[in-house]
Amino acid sequence: MRQGFTRPVMYGLFGSLVIATALGCAGEDPAPPVTVAPAPSSTSGLYVVMTRPPNVPATFVATPNGWFDPDCVVAVAPDEHVTIEGHVARANGSIRREATQCKSPRYDVEGRAIVETNVHDGEAPAVPTTNGWVEYANSTALGAMSYVHAQWTVPAAPTSNTGQVIYFFPGTENASSVTSIMQPVLGYNHAYGPAGVWSMASWNCCVTGTTWYSTPFISATAGTTVSGDMQGTSCNAATGVCPNWSIVSRNSAGTTTTLLTTTTQAQNWLFGHVLEVYGIDTCSELPASSPSVASGFVLRNAAGTTVSPPAWTNSLLGVSPSCSYSIAHTATTATLAWSNAGTMVCTPGDDRSCCPFTNGCSCDGDQICNAAGTGWGACMGAGQAGHPCP
């Protein structure tokens, strides 16, 4: 677990009664696909970054917010915005596409169904719903924000491209109700974006279980500087709520892609730099250059006052395979690092939960990484859905 935080979501086994609901979209004037940003994840023990879990349908996509049914991932065109209800509206406010209830669950990186909860234990801010977060710099010290700017350099492409997904981004979220996170996102094999290259889109997730992203995707070249801006308007300094937000991703050529969205929540949890990954089986699937340094922070609170960057809290999750992840910060930077070397699939002796049955499990099994770190052992102790546990 991350120090000082509690887990934000409840988990249920595939096929159980604990299932996430999500909104999809239906209606006229379909827009091209767009991008939404990712969320963090922690466990009490080892956090395993792995390939698609066996119970996650093959059609589901890895977004910055976990595994989603494509019907629950909604593109938003430049002349559209997302309403509080989850509709996609035209600039004049008329509804172009109404949100409809999605029947599919959403899964975390280990294949567990996610159920959002607004219940807070009263002791510490809940961690936002995360799927694949490895390391990040964060803070709640500045209170509600109305504007965030950060910039960072696009790393070199991974040595090996096996279809893995890699995301970098800054972001904001409400610390006690983890239902909406805003992010300008740099992605490699970006969900709904171009394959085998870096690209950018702006995301908002996960009110009503839907994730929205901006169109068009814009290209990003290794070695160049990209940036993200999140700006709220019509802010109430007393409550900290800025209902209308513009999330802008910008490449080195000055080309932008923007998502216009809304929220009823104060954005009082700030993320300076986040690394999120899916499908990393070897360290060579990470970017070939390290580290990634976020800098140039410009921050304003909900009252419109410019504030200095906080003393970031460094959050580093134990993951497998172990790729020498590290995180550091100064008064003006947040640095994420990793190693691209090595071919180990997993760390010897590590274990992970598993479900070998296509229709889900009544209780998960367990797999152990072999002594050479070259693979996982058989899935032991799993109970098939509808049958008693062993």
pLDDT of residue 18: 24
Average of per-residue pLDDT across 3-22: 25
**Residue 95: which of 36, 25, 35 has the closest Cα?**
25
Instruction: Say what the pLDDT of residue 101 is.
Output: 61
What is the rounded average pLDDT for all residues in the chain?
A: 78
Which residue in the block uniquely carries the two structure tokens 């979220």? 173
User: Which amino acid, 313?
Assistant: T
Residue type, 251: N
- At residue 369, the pLDDT reads 80
38 in Cβ contact with 185 (< 8 Å): yes
Higher pLDDT, 50 or 150: 150
Instruction: Identify the pLDDT of residue 278.
Output: 87
> Which DSSP letter does residue 239 get?
T
Q: How far apart are CA 67 and CA 213, in angstroms?
A: 15
Cα(82)–Cα(34) distance, rounded to whole angstroms? 12
| pLDDT tens profile 32-69 | 333 333 333 333 233 334 467 778 888 888 888 778 88
What CATH code is assigned to 10-337? 2.60.120.700
Please state which of the ranges 57-66, 91-100, 220-229, 276-285 shows the lowest mean pLDDT.
Answer: 91-100
% of the chain exceeding 70 in pLDDT: 73
Q: Domain spans of the chain?
A: 10-337, 351-384
368: tokens are 């152990």
Of the chain, the percentage scoring pLDDT greater than 90 comes to 44
Mind listing the pLDDT tens digit for each residue in 321-369? 778 899 999 999 999 999 888 655 666 778 888 998 878 898 999 998 8
Q: What is the pLDDT of residue 84?
A: 65
- How far apart (Å, rounded) are the C-alpha atoms in residues 121 and 179? 16
